[in-house]
Amino acid sequence: MKYKLLSLNVGRPEIYQTDKGDLESAYRKTPVNETTFLTYLNFKGDEQADKKNHGGRDKAVCLYPAQHYRHWEKHYGISFSIPAFGENVTVEGIEETGTHIGDIFQLGEAIVQITEPRKPCYIIARTHGIDDFPAQVTASGFTGFYMSVLKEGNVTPGDMMTLIEQHPDEVSVSEVNDVRYNDRHNHHRIKRILKVDALSGSLRGTLEKMLRKA
């Protein structure tokens, strides 16, 4: 499977003025046209304001599928300019239903691995001035996902993102979203996800707590 990298986006923390006050974030990223080096932690020129919940080895790259933009433009009746979801890479054709935790891809010279779905938070609502945006993203399943970097390398807009190894457990990003938000008391499904070795440490901790409560 091959998917096209439509946009590569980076940003540094800034103070945004929103309708609910000032907000420090690196959510509003800017597309770059040149080749950019991807390290184990991030693309060169990209940073996070909230390092507790964003970034790190497990969440070095945030991906959002380009085709989802059409859904949101129809849903809200407004246009969204890439990267409206704070993503590092906007990729055409890839989706949560057919992509699995632990899948490994070639991205330019780099090699990346899916680690967890992206969890929409209040920042998307504050940035766009749409209060129900996080809830709508969760309900739709159009969350995007995070990836770790297994091999550093240069990435250029227009590169192909090519699947080189599908994880044998075949736990899709969509399945993780469904358990996390809709089926929180299902022991069997939680344990199935926890078996995946590539699962991010932060989400593993969340699911272990869910399992104890369930």
CATH code at position 156: 2.40.33.20
Q: In degrees rounded to 5, what are phi and psi of residue 128?
A: -100, -5
For residue 71, is it within any domain? yes
State the pLDDT at residue 52: 58
pLDDT in tens, 130-154: 999 999 999 999 999 999 999 999 9
3-class SS of residue 153: strand
The single-letter code of the amino acid at 75 is: H
For residue 184, is it within any domain? no
Q: Which residues contact 186 (CB under 8 A, 6 or more apart)?
A: 179, 214
State the pLDDT at residue 51: 55
pTM of the model: 0.93
For residue 114, is it within any domain? yes
**Could you tell me the residue range of the domain that residue 117 belongs to?**
2-169
For residue 59, is it within any domain? yes
State the pLDDT at residue 115: 98
pLDDT of residue 192 exceeding 90: yes
Q: Which of 101, 73, 103, 82 is nearest to 3 (CA)?
A: 103
Compute the CA torsion angle 15, 80, 77, 3 (nearest 10 deg): -140
Cβ-in-10-Å burial (0-12, 13-18, 19+) of 204 comes to middle
Number of domains in the chain: 1
Q: In degrees rounded to 5, what are phi and psi of residue 73?
A: -65, -40
Residue 26 binned pLDDT confidence (cut-offs 50, 70, 90): confident
State the pLDDT at residue 12: 84
Residue-averaged pLDDT of the chain: 92
- Using only C-alpha atoms, what is the Rg of the chain? 16
For residue 61, is it within any domain? yes
State the pLDDT at residue 54: 59
For residue 205, is it within any domain? no
Residue 169 binned pLDDT confidence (cut-offs 50, 70, 90): very high
